[in-house]
Structure 1
């Protein structure tokens, strides 16, 4: 499981390649108002959560970006530190940033 921390003076992590079937966690130690998840290459669908819970491939409690170059902007439903978790059945390249 890969894990990254984005400090308050940083925008996000860029160009991270997900490992198939493995959760990647992005920690923002502050309360972020809006998160953007960007699929660089559309190599595979990306499932993600912004509330700290674990996503699942094709999981009903997970948000999804399709297998296409695309992005989603989401307001985390929690207060305090923001935790974004991502998973994919493939190995797409993603960025996770403050929006």
Structure 2
């Protein structure tokens, strides 16, 4: 399980490769208004949450980026520190940034 912290004044983490079936966590210690999750290579679908809850592959409570080079922009529904969690059945390369 990989974990990254993005401090205030930093934009995000870029070009990280997810490990199949393992959750990757990106912590923003501040309250972020909007998050972008970008799939660099479209190698596999990416399932994610922006409220700190656990994502699941094909999970009904998870957001999804399909297996394509694309991005999703989401407003976290929580106040306080923002926690993004991602999982995939494959090993896509992703970036997670504040917008």
- Is the pair's TM-score, using the shorter chain for normalization, greater than 0.5? yes
What's the counterpart of residue 50 of structure 1?
50
Spell out structure 1 runs of 4+ moving beyond 2 A: none
Q: How many Å apart are 1:78 and its aligned residue? A: 0.1
Segments of structure 1 that go 5 or more residues without pairing to the other structure are none
Which deviations, in whole Å up to 9, do the C-alpha atoms of 1:10-48 show, x marking residues without a partner? 000000000000000000000000000000000000000
Structure 1 length normalisation: TM-score? Answer: 1.00
What's the counterpart of residue 98 of structure 1?
98
The question of 1:87 aligning with 2:87 is answered yes
d(CA) in 1 for partners of 2:54, 2:10? 24
- The alignment yields a C-alpha RMSD, in angstroms, of 0.2
Q: How many Å apart are 1:79 and its aligned residue? A: 0.1
Q: How many Å apart are 1:88 and its aligned residue? A: 0.0
d(CA) in 1 for partners of 2:6, 2:75? 17
